[in-house]
Amino acid sequence: MKKFINEFLKGIVKENPTFVLLLGLCPTLAVSTSLPNGIGMGIAATFVLLGSNIIISLIRNFIPDRIRIPCYIVVIATFVTITELVMKAYSPALNRALGIYVPLIVVNCIVLGRAEAYASKATVINSLFDGLGMGIGFTLALLLISGIREFLGAGEIFGHTMIKEFQPAHILIMPSGALLVIGLLLGLFNVLKNRKI
């Protein structure tokens, strides 16, 4: 049991896909303009990661080594299509806000990275926990970035104004603000990491 918990926890802090592995940056930066968008993207990516990790781990012994990447891509694309159709049916507003970044989960490096580096070698249960942990780590990173951007850039959290007479810095909800926030966060994490040792 302890092993499973380790598999689960490593994706959240030690191997956080966004801040440590620097994978899947495109959706992270593009949709993190507000908290609801960030959460929606995080849940969609977690579902795809979980599904593709389980399926790829199940069929890992049947896939010929030379054509493994196209096989993984087909599995991942199937889950992305499911996500897209479900999102279109039940939450059209979210689908419109996320736009082309929903189909682009296919080329999110985290999903293919986990398939290639982990699920193709591990048992089903391990892959399940790995996918779940990575997905939650990704969602938490999105929450952090989109929380900072929404609070400082629009003065709101989940669309509610927090502090009256606060002059928001609109630059943070614009595209270049995303790059600034992630650059400074990475720098901050480096400082924290160096201090510990």
Partner 1 sequence: MNPAQFLTIFISAVFIYNVIFSRFLGLCSFIAISKETKPALAMSLSVMFVTTMSSVITWFIYRFLLIPFGLTYLRTISFILVIATFVQFVEMVIRKISPPLYRFFGIYLPLITVNCAVLGVAVLNIDMFFVNNKAVAGSFYYSLFQGICVGLGYTLAMLLMSGIRERLDLCNIPKAVKDFPLAFIIASIMGLSFLGFNGFRF
* CB 90 to partner 1: min, Å: 16
What is the sign, positive or negative, of the torsion defined by CA atoms of 19, 2, 135, 77?
positive
Q: Please, which of residues 10-49 interact with partner 1 by CB under 8 A?
A: 22-23, 25-27, 29-30
89 binds partner 1 (CB under 8 A): no
Q: Is 175 exposed, middle or buried (0-12, 13-18, 19+ CB in 10 A)?
A: exposed
78 binds partner 1 (CB under 8 A): yes
* DSSP-derived 3-state class of residue 122: coil
Nearer to partner 1 among residue 128 and residue 172 (C-beta): 172
98 touches 41 (CB < 8 A): yes
- Which residues touch 155 (CB under 8 Å, ≥6 apart)? 161, 162, 163, 166, 167, 168
Which of 109, 114, 107 is closest to 10 using CA atoms? 114
104 binds partner 1 (CB under 8 A): yes
86 binds partner 1 (CB under 8 A): no
Task: Please give the span between the terminal C-alpha atoms of the chain, in angstroms, as a whole number.
Answer: 30
Binding mask 153-172 for partner 1 (x = CB under 8 A): ------------------x-
Q: Which residues of 86-97 are buried (b: 16+ CB within 10 A; e: fewer)?
A: ebeeeeeebbeb
Nearer to partner 1 among residue 8 and residue 79 (C-beta): 79
The structure tokens listed for 188 are 């901050």
197 binds partner 1 (CB under 8 A): no
178 binds partner 1 (CB under 8 A): yes
Among 13, 74, 157, 163, binds partner 1 (CB under 8 A): 74
Sites of contact with partner 1 (CB under 8 A): 22-23, 25-27, 29-30, 69-70, 73-74, 77-78, 80-81, 84-85, 100, 103-104, 106-109, 112, 171, 174-180, 182-184, 186-188, 190-191, 194
